[in-house]
Chains A and B, each alone.
Chain A
Amino acid sequence: MTLASNGTHPVLIEQDVVLARQLVRKLAQDCGMRLIDLTKLVTAVSELARNTVVYGGGGYMDWEIVERDLRSGVRLTFRDEGPGIPDIKLAMTDGWTSGGGLGLGLTGAKRLVDEFELDTAPGQGTRVTITRWS
């Protein structure tokens, strides 16, 4: 696997969620991603970036364009230094929410991407890495 390009985008306030969506849309377009896959990825970004702002107290989105075999894709890591998630199993249950949401953020985002990785512990912040191939 080779790395074509990468960067970091702040996800500190609500407006950054919109900017993160727009940045990822651009990246996915550059990869030649189909509209449907692109829409799924951008929606997942919206859910995860919102989590970073609302639950993580703000953080960053690392992005990279990845290539494997003949396919290229977008890999994103959302990281914050917030309280972390005490019960991962519970957080990955449809409809469960610690805040006022619908509880579709994490589970929904997972269904919208090809690869999903959650790394968190109480007091250690949260890192979610997702990849969508074109």
Chain B
Amino acid sequence: MATLHATTVQALQSNKLSLLTTWIESLEASGATRNVKEADLKQQANDFLNTLIAALEQGGSQNVNHENWAETRVLLEKLSHSRALVGQDSQQTASFIFALKGPLFALLQREYAEQPAQLAEQLWEISELLDALGMHTIRTFQKSRELVIKRQQEELLELSTPVVKLWDGVLALPMIGTLDSQRTQVVMESLLQRIVDTGAEIAIIDITGVPTVDTLVAQHLLKTVTAIRLMGADCIISGVRPQIAQTIVHLGLDLQGVVTKANLADALALSLKRLGVTVTKAV
């Protein structure tokens, strides 16, 4: 494999400023600068050119996975991560690299005007290099996006599962909407943790807002009840709809030892009774 000539690297170095200007112009023209501050863009473009030239000056490998390119790779990873956060798509992010091709090719054409064979070779090399760097940017962009999505999913899960304190020693978990197995698991885990944190003796799982349950979810519910008992607290399930009761019986799940109440109020009344609390109307 041919390498980039010292002349090419030299040309890059001495024309850095004009290269930077035309590159940023073409970036702006392509719309790849949306949501990116101008100062940041200039800084990033400048840093990239510096690490690119530094890596090329070290000579040796043009394989972007080589350690000479570590600094450039880190720079691009940071860049694509920040682009993902401001909501750019992968095309806009990758344009950062690909928009450099035009200005670079023009530069090389001037530099090697008299040597067409050399020009073709160097164009090919620099093009390969930029493609590899561009691909790296897209890959890390994708990874960053997936992380953002994963975090948002987790946040949503936690938001949709509030554990509330009803009374000193009584926690309630009002579940709303369709339960899938993953959500049930997360909710149940947070309920168990809250029991330890608060020292609550009784936990009420209210499923009034749950239209249906499938086998897996029903099993998760029962496992949670058992786990709560093992930890030394009691669990009451309230608001079991007729359809859900039918499902549970139909599935042959054993509800023995599970206390159920028609609604949350009844469950609270039972909890207070167990705690030895009586509620009376004043006057």
Whether A and B touch (Cβ < 8 Å) is answered with yes
Give A contacts to B, CB under 8 Å: 36, 70
- Give the residue name and chain of the A residue nearest to B142 (CB): A70
Asked if B220 is an interface residue, CB under 8 A from chain A, the answer is: no
Asked if B121 is an interface residue, CB under 8 A from chain A, the answer is: no
The answer to whether A70 touches B143, judged by C-beta atoms less than 8 angstroms apart, is yes
Neighbouring A residues of B111 by C-beta, 8 Å: none
Q: How far is the CB of B228 from chain A (nearest CB, A)?
A: 15
Number of interface residues, chain B, beta carbon within 8 A? 5
Q: Which 5 residue pairs spanning A and B have beta carbons closest together?
A: A70-B146, A36-B189, A70-B143, A70-B147, A70-B150
Give B contacts to A, CB under 8 Å: 143, 146-147, 150, 189
Q: How far is the CB of A39 from chain B (nearest CB, A)?
A: 11
- Give the residue name and chain of the A residue nearest to B150 (CB): A70
For the complex, give the distance between the alpha carbons of A66 and B189 in Å: 26
- Give the residue name and chain of the B residue nearest to A34 (CB): B189
Q: How far is the CB of A65 from chain B (nearest CB, A)?
A: 19
Q: How far is the CB of A115 from chain B (nearest CB, A)?
A: 18
For the complex, give the distance between the alpha carbons of A36 and B227 in Å: 13
Q: List 5 A-B contacts (CB under 8 A).
A: A36-B189, A70-B143, A70-B146, A70-B147, A70-B150
Q: How far is the CB of A2 from chain B (nearest CB, A)?
A: 13
For the complex, give the distance between the alpha carbons of A36 and B150 in Å: 19
For the complex, give the distance between the alpha carbons of A70 and B143 in Å: 8
- Give the residue name and chain of the B residue nearest to A36 (CB): B189
- Give the residue name and chain of the B residue nearest to A69 (CB): B146
Neighbouring B residues of A70 by C-beta, 8 Å: 143, 146-147, 150
Q: How far is the CB of A72 from chain B (nearest CB, A)?
A: 14
